[in-house]
Amino acid sequence: MNHRILNNRLGLIFILLAVFTVNYIQTQMESNLKDPAQYETGYKIAQAFMELEGNLDFSQFEGLGEGAAAAHSISYYILFPVLLLMVIAGLLFRREITPIRVMTLGLAISYLIALCFFIFFPVPERWAFPPANATLLSDILSTGWIESYRSFRALDNAFPSLSAAFMLVMVFVCYRYRFKFKNPICLLGIMVILSSFTLGIHWVPDLIMGGFLGVFSTSLAVLWDHRIVDKIKKVQPELATKGATVMGIKLPEKKTTFISYRRETGSIMARIVQSELKKRGHLSFLDVDDLGPKQFGKRLLREIESVPNFVVVLSPGSMDRCEAQDDWLRREISHAITTHRNIVPLMVDEFQYPPKEMIPDDLEELLHHNGVNYSHEYFAATFDKLSDFLQKT
């Protein structure tokens, strides 16, 4: 696939629309794509699923009442597409294109693999398989729920569960790329998956296979994304480094690194670190540039949480005051440890750590992080190594 399409948000939107269109066409042409033998195979698989579940009695769900039916129906028929669209929109407006590209590729791969099962192994939904003796719970309220849904999902496209696969792709991407609302999105995704079971739509093997499909597809998408980035850098490096835009609007550049230092001994080096990392594609947060005169405290700690990398400039004497609990260098390092940042110490002027008994307990982990020794003679090599130690967004 052309790297220009995959490195362009409009191209990724086109891919998502293409997946949606193919899915709609496949659903409308369902009866023309299969022969009776395939339907018979699907019914045999459904029978095997039912026996595998131990002939699960679904009559217990019929007594849940209209309130529960409404909650599960809203979760599956409304929350599922809304949640997916909201996450896609949120990723589209992030500066880095990698998250939306991985999301797009993950969804597309999931659908293409699922499509093979839909055509050659058409498993009916639980409620549509008479021996299962299950009722479609949403029909308690109205048949309109399933009728509107049926335009985009055929009756015998239950295995694997595409909703479970798509939710797993979404959750995988949200956690991998630190999406702001990843925890509530994960909980809502689980609700969607469980509701498809409670409503009487999916079999347990559908959901398990859908989950595996989502994880597999997203893992494949991550590997594909790495190859795309490598190819872009070789063919047109400016495409990999230029500022991001959405619909022609230039997005603000996202910082990837927090620089911590002792002002009395490390301020000049901190400025050098910021400049050298910028040349290597890492934008850094430096308090004197990025905080106003009245903004400190909690804002500083939030900035540490917002980036994956934490570089601490360690010069002789920089840790002498760290025994004091209100010392800001101590608080910054401690917060980076607590929030599991990628911590990289930069040792300057032959810095040596104080004796272990003089290092506070909350900073002890700093001793175990691999650092970089600054060398004036090998200046460029020092910062090349520091850059290699940092995580890309």
User: Looking at the domain assignment, is residue 228 inside a domain?
Assistant: yes
Cα 367–chain centre separation:
31
**Shared-domain flag, residues 176 and 217:** yes
User: Looking at the domain assignment, is residue 248 inside a domain?
Assistant: no
> Residue 73's domain spans which residues?
3-235
Q: Taking a C-beta distance cutoff of 8 angstroms, is the pair 152, 30 a contact? A: no
User: Looking at the domain assignment, is residue 74 inside a domain?
Assistant: yes
**Shared-domain flag, residues 223 and 336:** no
What is the structure's pLDDT at 255? 82
**Shared-domain flag, residues 158 and 302:** no
What is the structure's pLDDT at 78? 93
How many CB atoms lie under 10 A from the CB of residue 187? 10
Encoded tokens for 296: 């400190």
Provide the CATH number for the domain around residue 377: 3.40.50.10140
User: Looking at the domain assignment, is residue 274 inside a domain?
Assistant: yes
Residue with the larger pLDDT of the pair 290 and 313: 313
Long-range contacts of 226-230 (CB under 8 A, 24+ apart): 228/3, 228/6, 228/7, 228/101, 229/98
What is the structure's pLDDT at 206? 95
Counting the structural domains of the chain, the total is 2
User: Looking at the domain assignment, is residue 318 inside a domain?
Assistant: yes
80 residue type, one letter? F
**Shared-domain flag, residues 191 and 290:** no
Q: Please state the pTM of the whole predicted model.
A: 0.65
Task: For the sheet with 342-347, list strands across it.
Answer: 284-285, 257-260, 309-314, 342-347, 372-373
Q: How far apart are CA 336 and CA 321, in angstroms?
A: 18
Closest of 376, 351, 388 to residue 272, by C-alpha: 376
Q: Taking a C-beta distance cutoff of 8 angstroms, is the pair 73, 137 a contact? A: yes
Given a cut of 70, whether residue 331 has pLDDT beyond it is yes
Given a cut of 90, whether residue 142 has pLDDT beyond it is no
User: Looking at the domain assignment, is residue 338 inside a domain?
Assistant: yes
**Shared-domain flag, residues 219 and 103:** yes
**Shared-domain flag, residues 104 and 224:** yes
Q: What is the dihedral of CA 120, 123, 125, 128, to 10 degrees?
A: 110
**Shared-domain flag, residues 148 and 229:** yes
**Shared-domain flag, residues 204 and 261:** no
In tens, the pLDDT along 150-196 reads: 778 888 899 999 999 999 999 999 998 888 789 999 999 999 999 99
**Shared-domain flag, residues 325 and 194:** no
Q: What is the mean pLDDT of residues 380-385?
A: 91
Q: How far apart are CA 184 and CA 186, in angstroms?
A: 5
In tens, the pLDDT along 73-107 reads: 999 999 999 999 999 999 998 878 889 999 999 99
Closest of 199, 114, 115, 91 to residue 149, by C-alpha: 199
Place of tokens 């597409």: 81
Q: Taking a C-beta distance cutoff of 8 angstroms, is the pair 174, 167 a contact? A: no
Closest of 73, 92, 96 to residue 84, by C-alpha: 92
What is the structure's pLDDT at 74? 92
Is the link from the previous residue into 160 a cis peptide, with omega within 30 of 0? Answer: yes
Q: How far apart are CA 23 and CA 107, in angstroms?
A: 12
**Shared-domain flag, residues 12 and 115:** yes
User: Looking at the domain assignment, is residue 246 inside a domain?
Assistant: no
**Shared-domain flag, residues 215 and 323:** no
Boundary-marking domain end, from 176, 201, 235? 235
In the chain, the N- to C-terminal Cα span, in Å, equals: 23
* DSSP helix/strand/coil, 261: coil
Q: Are strands 309-314 and 284-285 parallel, antiparallel or unpaired?
A: unpaired
User: Looking at the domain assignment, is residue 115 inside a domain?
Assistant: yes
Quote the longest CA-to-CA distance of the chain: 81
What totals of helices (H) and strands (E) does the chain contain, helices first?
18, 7
What is the structure's pLDDT at 168? 97
In tens, the pLDDT along 194-252 reads: 999 999 899 999 999 999 999 999 999 999 988 877 776 565 554 444 444 544 444 45
Strand runs (DSSP E) across the chain, as ranges? 245-246, 249-250, 257-260, 284-285, 309-314, 342-347, 372-373
Boundary-marking domain end, from 235, 268, 301? 235
**Shared-domain flag, residues 225 and 319:** no
